[in-house]
Structure 1
Amino acid sequence: MQPEAEERRAHKRAVRQAFDRAAASYDAAAALQREISARLADFVLAQAGPTPRRILDGGCGTGHGQEALARLWPQAERIALDFAPAMLAQLPAAAAARLCGDLESLPLADASLDAVWSSLALQWCEPATALGEIARVLTPGGRAWIATLGPETLWELRAAFAAVDDDRHVISFHPLAHWLESAASAGLDCTARDGSRVYARAADLKRLLRDIKQIGAHRIGPGRRRKPLGRMAWHRLEAAYERHRLADGSLPASYDLILLCLERPA
């Protein structure tokens, strides 16, 4: 097996393990996920289009998107897909049909969906592969509604770690241009897009990092696993992050939100 393929397989295993471990604590720390799901729903409402009959919630997590989808299209058949079995197990009993699967290799037939909704899942995927799969399963004229993360996500943490060492501690995400190029290569038209900043906040850095860990978004980028920071390095990190403290006394963590409406041409 080529080194790149093995690294990708290891990355996927780490993603699944991280979100499986986070499933039980996810909802308690997922205020940011709920806010972004609400923003994606508002983005959908701003775009006119046909009512879908069959929708995939791709990377459903514990089901935050299910409530939004039920409000948007109450008569539609919903399929909730996630890579992590423990996340699917947290879905309410009355939720949509559940499917454990990979967004990069969807276990669905060609042209079998009218719409795909994916909120904060595709950033863990290779864009060209995942969008190619979405294009495959959409019917002609079908749409994908996507909320993902851009490269300025957690920039405060990246800057603070730069004061500690030269290692890569913070995951890098693809810019908007890369998503648009990947969509075009997959045969999808971008009919609408938007971007904004969303902020997580905590009283101190330990709580901020704990919340990131509790939603699974830690140690899942490629590269070696690092030892915990020593006491002196931790104090340097805290001091560097203090520069970002807000007037209300909280420490922020920025999330660079990208919203996309992609359509498979009829």
Structure 2
Amino acid sequence: MADTAAVKARIRQAFHRAAGTYDQAAVVQREVCQYLADFAASYPCPGPLERVLDAGCGTGHALPLLAARYPQADLLALDFASGMLAHVRGHLRVCGDLEQLPLAAASMDAVWSSLAAQWCRPQALFGELARVLRPRGMAWIATLGPETLCELRDAFRAVDDLPHAIDFHCPQTWQRAAEDAGFAVCGLLRRPCAALDTDLRGLLRHIKAIGAHTVSHTPRTPLGREAWHRLARRYERWRRPDGLLPATYDVILLALERRP
């Protein structure tokens, strides 16, 4: 994904506007959050765990889970969309960019980040996480791989050659960036997860309702009737035996330890 101020501003605004609809639509996001919790349990933080950062917390749906899992820890909720942070209750909140964390060096014992890393440059993200984590601190990350929204990418080929989803990084790119930043990769897992609906309009409403529809800084012209019909016809090839249409998320889970 191009890293420009214009793109970041549009992404931030999209998530800000989606804050009111996010929780109702975030079925996949809650499922991935549970995947990450189960995954993280296999890679506990060595040493005391007093300060945990939820990096890209959204409306804070992971915070009750983290509070139950780490009752002794102070939780810090960070997101770059102020509208999302406004829904967080009962925890310290910070509005900030994951690529420029407004936190002191070695100030965190662990970092949790579920479905936020894909909006960042891997090198910049892991450089910041390594900076704010204490030596041997843990980072548990859920991000997205290149097969995400593969059905939508395929269907749009019947319409035009423009990008209609961001270019997600492969697991090897995430792993190399983490190691270059000073992390040991303790665990890496890849698994699919799918949003489901009876029709394509419902799936696209889901993507928009969680704020994840920004691709570039170039405004898009709405599809005309004929283009929409071509898109919908092409997407039908993905309809499942149970009658539902999927939008697949290629989920990558990482457990990282900050090297001393």
The TM-score by the shorter chain falls in which range? over 0.9
Aligned position for 1:15: 11
2:249 aligned with 1:231: no
Aligned position for 1:31: 27
Aligned position for 1:247: 241
Which amino acid in 2 is paired with 1:185? D
Aligned position for 2:162: 167
Which amino acid in 1 is paired with 2:205? R
- Partner-residue secondary structure (3-state), 2:4: helix
Give ranges in structure 1 of 5+ residues lacking alignment: none
The whole-number CA distance in structure 1 between the counterparts of 2:162 and 2:79 is 31
Which amino acid in 2 is paired with 1:57? D
The whole-number CA distance in structure 1 between the counterparts of 2:150 and 2:209 is 19
The whole-number CA distance in structure 2 between the counterparts of 1:98 and 1:48 is 24
The alignment's TM-score, normalised by the length of structure 1, stands at: 0.95
Aligned position for 2:252: 258
Displacement of 1:49 in angstroms is: 3.6
Equivalent pairs: percent with the same residue? 55
The whole-number CA distance in structure 1 between the counterparts of 2:216 and 2:101 is 23
Aligned position for 1:83: 80
Which amino acid in 2 is paired with 1:84? A
4+ aligned runs moved over 6 Å, structure 1:
none
Displacement of 1:47 in angstroms is: 2.1
- Partner-residue secondary structure (3-state), 2:205: helix
Displacement of 1:223 in angstroms is: 4.6
The whole-number CA distance in structure 1 between the counterparts of 2:245 and 2:123 is 35
1:54 and 1:78 in contact (8 A); partners too: yes
- Out of 29, 38, 44, the position equivalent to 2:40 is 44
- Out of 195, 206, 209, the position equivalent to 2:201 is 206
- Partner-residue secondary structure (3-state), 1:64: coil
- Partner-residue secondary structure (3-state), 2:167: coil
Which amino acid in 1 is paired with 2:74? E
Which amino acid in 1 is paired with 2:139? A
Which amino acid in 2 is paired with 1:30? A
The whole-number CA distance in structure 2 between the counterparts of 1:193 and 1:72 is 21
2:80 and 2:97 in contact (8 A); partners too: yes
- Out of 64, 67, 86, the position equivalent to 2:64 is 67
Displacement of 1:213 in angstroms is: 0.3
- Partner-residue secondary structure (3-state), 1:158: helix
The whole-number CA distance in structure 1 between the counterparts of 2:55 and 2:45 is 20
2:114 and 2:141 in contact (8 A); partners too: yes
The alignment's TM-score, normalised by the length of structure 2, stands at: 0.97
- Partner-residue secondary structure (3-state), 1:201: strand
- Out of 169, 178, 184, the position equivalent to 2:179 is 184
- Partner-residue secondary structure (3-state), 2:98: coil
- Partner-residue secondary structure (3-state), 2:18: helix
2:121 aligned with 1:126: yes
Q: How many residues end up aligned between the 2 structures?
A: 258
1:148 and 1:258 in contact (8 A); partners too: yes
Give ranges in structure 2 of 5+ residues lacking alignment: none
